Each structure stands twice: as C-alpha cells, then as structure tokens.
Amino acid sequence: MSQDILENINFITSIISRDNNAWTDLYYAVAPRLRSFIIGRLTQLDKYINIDETANDVVVQTFEKAFNKIDSYKQELSKIKTWIFSIALHLVEDIKRELTKHRSLINDLKDLISIKILNREVLSVDRLLLKIGIKGLKLSDLERKYIELMYIENLQDDFIAEMLEVKTASIRVARKRLLDKLRVYFNVAR
C-alpha cells in the first residue's frame, strides 16, 4: 500500500468508522516503519529488555490503543500516521519510566543490603531478608531463587535465566513482581 492512501479522505473515514479492512491496510502500511522507530527509541535499553519482543509488543499495543481511541483523532491536527507514531512514542516513554522506577528500586535495595549487612555471612534468602529488616514477606520459589542468585551470588539476569532454564523474560517478570512486593512492603511510592 502506498503512503498516499494514508492521506485519502475515504480511507481515513473508513479508519474512523473502524472498518476492519481499512485497519488491516493501515497496519501493513505503518507497522514496519513504526517498529523501526520503536527499536530506535529502545536501543539504549538492550541490557534490560529484549528489544525485538518489546518493539513487537509496542506495535500491537499502539494499534490497540489507536483503535480504541480513534474517536479522539482529529484529521485537522495531524496525519493518521503521525498520530499513531505519537501513541507509540508515549508507550515507549511509559516503558522507560517503568524501567527507571525498577532500576531505582533495585539500586535502593542494593544500597540497603550493603548498608545493613555488616558481615558477609549471609547464606540464605531468609537470613538476608531478616538482616535488612524484612519479615513475613511471601515470596514465590522463583522470586526466592532470584534473590539468592542476584543479591547473594551477584549474577546477572541472563545467567540466572540460564541456570534456572527459563527465559530471561521470566526472570524480568519475577523481578518486577518482587519489586512490586517490596515497594508495597516498604510503602515506597514512586
């Protein structure tokens, strides 16, 4: 599909009326460049996320959000492609903000651990949690193993995933859930 169709008033009207064929055409016209745009915005985060998977997810989320919010699209303010790229940019910024919060909490936790642990005698997750003042926190087996490998053994996510024979994404999910629990436990509002 040519880019000219994106400016065709009949095509735009079909998009606004949520015509499935028009949305399919829009997807095929915009998605490849949108994905490249997203990858370009995420490249500096490659240590923390799988860029290809995240870019694919953001493309899908962008079109879902655009479809759901098409009533708010104003033809006189921007082209449909620009509007869609703007949605994607906001989603990417949300990802960056979320990662920043998690990295900040991880750093705070590392600082807390290094300050509160006076000797290197920590051998178990339970002893580690007690030494930093955490009591009664329910953790899944994966979260416990993650704490042991990350904070006691000082391993990185990719090595942890390899050791546990799971995808790195599973480790990231376990870390996010762990950090959410810790945030609630410490009443950290970020």
Which CATH number goes with the domain that contains 92?
Answer: 1.10.1740.10
Provide the pLDDT for residue 58. Answer: 94
For residue 18, is it within any domain? yes
pLDDT in tens, 14-30: 999 999 999 999 999 99
Could you say which of 48, 67, 97 is where a domain stops? 97
Contact 25, 6 (CB under 8 A): no
Q: What is the mean pLDDT of residues 141-145?
A: 77
Please give the pLDDT value at position 126.
75
Last residue of a domain, one of 42, 68, 97: 97
**Is 110 among the domain residues?**
no
Please state the three-class secondary structure of 37-81 as a single string: HHHHHHHHHCCCCCHHHHHHHHHHHHHHHHHHCHHHCCCCCCCHH
Clarify whether residues 130 and 181 are in a common domain.
yes
Burial status of residue 155 (CB atoms within 10 A of its CB: 0-12, 13-18, 19 or more): middle
Domain that holds residue 71: 3-97
Residue 108 lies in a domain: no
pLDDT in tens, 73-110: 988 888 999 999 999 999 999 988 887 777 766 666 66
Same domain, 123 and 179: yes
Residue 104 counted as domain residue: no
128 pLDDT tier (thresholds 50, 70, 90): confident
The model's confidence at residue 7, banded by pLDDT at 50, 70 and 90, is confident
With pLDDT > 90 as the criterion, what percentage of the chain qualifies? 34
Examine the domain organization and report whether 168 and 130 are in the same domain: yes
Percent of residues, the chain, with pLDDT higher than 70: 85
CATH of the domain at 140: 1.10.10.10
Residue 112 lies in a domain: no
**Total of domains in the chain:** 2
What pLDDT shows up at residue 157? 82
67 shares its domain with 148: no
DSSP state of 96: H
Q: Is residue 131 in some structural domain?
A: yes
Q: Do 93 and 130 share a domain, yes or no?
A: no
Residues 175 and 125 in one domain: yes
Single out the residue in 68, 97, 126 at which a domain terminates.
97
Report yes or no on 178 lying in a domain. Answer: yes
Query: Identity (one letter) of the amino acid at 159?
Result: F
Q: Are residues 13 and 82 in the same domain?
A: yes
> What's the pLDDT band for 122 if we cut at 50, 70, 90?
very low
Same domain, 159 and 77: no
Answer yes or no: is 17 within a domain: yes
Tens of pLDDT, residues 146-176: 777 777 777 788 878 877 888 888 888 888 8
Do 20 and 60 lie in a common domain? yes
Specify the pLDDT at position 67.
95
Mean pLDDT of 3-11: 80
| 22 and 92 part of one domain | yes
pLDDT tier for residue 185 given thresholds of 50, 70 and 90: confident
Average pLDDT (8-15) is 90
Range with top average pLDDT, 66-75, 118-127, 147-156, 175-184? 66-75
